[in-house]
Amino acid sequence: EDKVVQSPLSLVVHEGDTVTLNCSYEVTNFRSLLWYKQEKKAPTFLFMLTSSGIEKKSGRLSSILDKKELFSILNITATQTGDSAVYLCAVAVSAGSARQLTFGSGTQLTVLP
Amino acid sequence: DSGVTQTPKHLITATGQRVTLRCSPRSGDLSVYWYQQSLDQGLQFLIQYYNGEERAKGNILERFSAQQFPDLHSELNLSSLELGDSALYFCASSVGQGGPEQYFGPGTRLTVT
C-alpha cells in the first residue's frame, strides 16, 4: 500500500523564523511529488518535483526532492502570519495512463506575530 | 481562485438519504478528480474521469458513484448515507489524464445527521 508520511504533525513558530517540513514516501510507480497549502478550504498548488536534487523556489518557499532516500523537504524562510496553514505533501503514482495522488496527513503550521 | 467550481457549498441531510455534488473544472481541463477529506482520514482520492471516461479509482465506496458529462462537468452521487460520510468533498481538475498538477475547487461540506 502506498504511504506518504509528513512530519512534524504540527509546528508553532514566531514571525521571522525559518521552518522545515518533511515528507517521506513509500510508493510503487513514483512519478512526482507535489506540495500544497491548505488554509480554510481548498488546497492550493505550490510545487511539483520530479528530479532529485533540483531545488524549486518561489519567494520565501523552497523545496527539494531526494529520490534515493525517498523524501522531500519544504522550507519557509522569514515566516509571516499569512503562512499559517496546513501543508500537504502528495505523491503522484502511475495508475495506467493516469496519475493518482496519495496525500500525507499534513503539517499544521501556526505562525505567531 | 483556482477556476474550479463546486456546488453546493454546504449540505445537511439525514442518514439513508441520497445527495449529488456537482463540479465544473477549469476551462480547458479534461480531467476531474474527486476527493474526500475527513478529520481522521485526511485527503483520500475517490475517482478520476477524463473526457467522460473513468480513468482511475481509489477508495470509493460502492454506495458512491460519479460521472462526467459531455460538457465536462462532473457529479458525485452519494447514497444510503451514513454518519461517517460526513466530510469535505473536493473536486480537482487537470489538463491531461496524467495530471498530476491538480487544481482544487472550494469543496462541499456534507453533514449527515
- Do residues A6 and A23 make contact, with C-beta atoms less than 8 angstroms apart? yes
Q: What does the pLDDT look like over A37-75, one tens digit per residue?
A: 999 889 999 989 987 878 899 999 999 999 888 999 999
Chosen for mutation from B50, B102, B103, B109 (greatest number of chain A CBs closer than 10 Å) is B102
Range A9-20 burial, b when 16+ CB lie within 10 A, else e: eebebeeeeebe
The reply to whether residue B42 touches residue A106, judged by beta carbons under 8 angstroms, is: yes
Q: Could you please report the per-residue DSSP string of B77-107?
A: EE-S--GGG-EEEEEEEESSTT--S-EE---
At B99 the pLDDT is: 66
At B23 the pLDDT is: 98
- Do residues B74 and B23 make contact, with C-beta atoms less than 8 angstroms apart? yes
Q: ∠ CA B7-B13-B19 to the nearest 5 degrees?
A: 50
User: Which H or E element spans position A4?
Assistant: strand A3-7
At B61 the pLDDT is: 94
Residue of B nearest to A99 (CA): B98
In chain A, residues 29-68 whose CB comes closer than 8 Å to chain B: 31-32, 34, 36, 41-45, 48
At B101 the pLDDT is: 83
At B98 the pLDDT is: 67
Q: What does the pLDDT look like over A77-87, one tens digit per residue?
A: 999 999 999 99
Q: How close, in Å, is residue B90 to chain A by CA atoms?
A: 7
The reply to whether residue B43 touches residue A88, judged by beta carbons under 8 angstroms, is: yes
Cα separation of B19 and B88, whole Å? 14
Its sign, for the CA torsion B40, B102, B50, B73, is positive
At A97 the pLDDT is: 65
Q: How close, in Å, is residue B99 to chain A by CA atoms?
A: 6
Q: Is the peptide bond before B8 cis (omega within 30 degrees of 0)?
A: yes
- Do residues A83 and A77 make contact, with C-beta atoms less than 8 angstroms apart? no
Residue A26 has pLDDT above 90, yes or no: yes
The closest CB to that of B48, out of A32, A45, A98, belongs to: A98
- In 3D space, the residue among A108, B85, A77, B113 whose CA is nearest the CA of residue B76 turns out to be B85
Cα separation of A8 and A21, whole Å? 7
The reply to whether residue A44 touches residue B98, judged by beta carbons under 8 angstroms, is: no
Strands, E, within B1-113: which ranges?
5-7, 10-13, 19-24, 31-38, 42-50, 53-57, 64-68, 74-78, 87-94, 103-104, 108-112
Its sign, for the CA torsion A78, A103, B79, B23, is positive
Tell me the mean pLDDT in the region A101-110: 94
- Can you give the pLDDT of all 113 residues of chain B as single tens digits? 889 999 999 999 999 999 999 999 999 999 999 999 987 778 899 999 999 999 888 889 999 999 999 999 999 999 999 999 999 999 999 987 666 688 999 999 999 99
Question: With an 8 Å Cβ cutoff, is B33 touching chain A?
Answer: yes
pLDDT band, residue A28 (cuts 50/70/90) = confident
The residues that bridge with A62 in the sheet, in sequence order, are A57, A75
Residue A94 has pLDDT above 90, yes or no: no
At A53 the pLDDT is: 79
